[in-house]
Copies of this chain bind each other. A is one copy, B any other.
């Protein structure tokens, strides 16, 4: 047991922090404002510039799993995610933003050579972006067997129908690809074999982006939208891995994505706590700085305790994924999905309260941060579904 980061990680942390301090923090407010003023899903050309810089410094595609050409384990990449996550739009600069990272992983693992050439390469180059379309508005998608979208074979094509929302990534104008989940075999008695994943170019006929979905009024972490697919036709070669393998791919995709999201939230919580400390030291009420009031100290301390614990749990989950695999680590992967977003909501909410009015109007980015954290208590399965799973795993020990 050893709680220190490896020298390799420390070096990367230092380089990444250096980049953040030199290039990201100074333009944080300006770029966010550019994005906000551009309307939903707009992006800033300044980000494209920063991408060049990051790539030049070798801070590019850090997420790529060791097993697939990358250089970092989950445990090594996780602390870098935390640093990037402190600024909502920063991960993209390093080509490390969701849902692209998860989509690239899927293509790396399950894509054919042709699929890789067509989609993975431009994604790894940061030339295009992608979207993940699984959740549906019509059903409780927390139970993934509820999913209704259909993928029907018709000759050499699949015909796709369905309505998806919380489709992350679309409609960023740079987005070109959906990874779409739906049922190829609705009547398969094994409910986990009914679904498949398929690649759908955004420009396909029959794809309509209905609306962006602002979360608490903000573009959320992964920029989600509602999308309609009506008789969309794609060649059969677009299927991933084969019919009926959708669940299997979804499972494989889940683990790393959760670690990334959780670490980014931890970064966000850290920055919120920093803001809380700085602000309350400067503001005086009733004769002394707000930071000196014991109720403020209590919340700062609890925030520190909560953050430390959540980080350790996420790092342990990453370690387990690296050493014993996602399947054995399933309880830990479920646990971090509950622990980190709830921690972040708790910490950011205290920070908002400590900022007073400036907190709720997002002058310090806190309202947006809260929206991100709050959404992650629901996205990719609500707390309750994960807690039920963790609970059942616990009970199993005593059967």
* B309 close to A362 (CB less than 8 A): no
Contact segment of A56-64, A227-235, A273-281: A273-281
Interface size class of A (residues with CB under 8 A): 35 or more
Q: Are B331 and A357 touching (Cβ within 8 A)?
A: no
Residues on B with C-beta less than 8 A from A312 are: 309, 312-313, 316
Within 8 A of B (CB), among A256-280: 273-274, 277-278
A287 to B296, CA, bound (A): 18
Across the interface, name the chain B residue whose C-beta is closest to A303: B394
Q: Which among A294, A295, A392 has the greatest number of chain B C-beta atoms within 10 A? A: A294
- What's the Cα separation between A356 and B293 when bound, in Å? 20
CB distance from A29 to the nearest CB of B (A): 14
Cβ B335 vs Cβ A360 within 8 A: no
CB of A357 within 8 A of CB of B335, answer no
**Most B CB atoms within 10 A — which of A140, A220, A390?**
A140
CA distance in complex: A384, B379 (Å): 28
* 0/1 string, A128-156, CB within 8 A of B gives 1: 00000001010111110010000000000
A387 B338 Cβ-Cβ under 8 A: no
Write the nearest CB–CB distance from A113 to chain B, whole angstroms: 36
Shortest distance between the CB of A375 and any CB in chain B (Å): 5
Specify the chain B residue showing the minimal Cβ separation from A136.
B357
Contact between A293 and B140, CB atoms less than 8 A apart: no
- Alpha-carbon separation in the docked complex, A295 to B390 (Å): 13
Interface stretch among A3-11, A83-91, A96-104, A114-122? A3-11
- Kindly identify which residue among B1, B290, B385 contacts A6, using a CB–CB cutoff of 8 Å: B1
Provide the bound-state CA to CA distance between A217 and B361, in Å: 7
Kindly state the separation between the CA atoms of A315 and B308 in the bound complex, as whole angstroms. Answer: 12
Q: Does A391 contact B (CB under 8 A)?
A: yes
Q: A141-B357, A281-B395, A295-B384 are in contact. List 15 more A-B contacts (CB 8 A).
A: A3-B320, A146-B284, A166-B357, A214-B362, A217-B362, A217-B368, A294-B295, A298-B391, A300-B394, A301-B388, A302-B387, A304-B331, A305-B390, A308-B313, A356-B378
Chain A residues within 8 Å of B, Cβ to Cβ: 1-6, 9, 75, 135, 137, 139-143, 146, 165-166, 213-218, 220, 224, 273-274, 277-278, 281, 283-286, 290-291, 293-302, 304-305, 308-310, 312-313, 315-316, 319-320, 323, 331-332, 335, 338-339, 352-353, 356-362, 367-368, 370-371, 374-375, 377-379, 382-392, 394-395, 397-399
27 A-B pairs (CB sep. < 8 Å): A1-B3, A1-B319, A137-B357, A137-B358, A141-B356, A142-B285, A216-B367, A217-B218, A273-B394, A274-B397, A274-B398, A277-B394, A277-B395, A281-B395, A286-B388, A294-B294, A294-B388, A297-B388, A298-B391, A300-B391, A300-B395, A301-B390, A301-B391, A304-B391, A305-B313, A312-B312, A360-B374
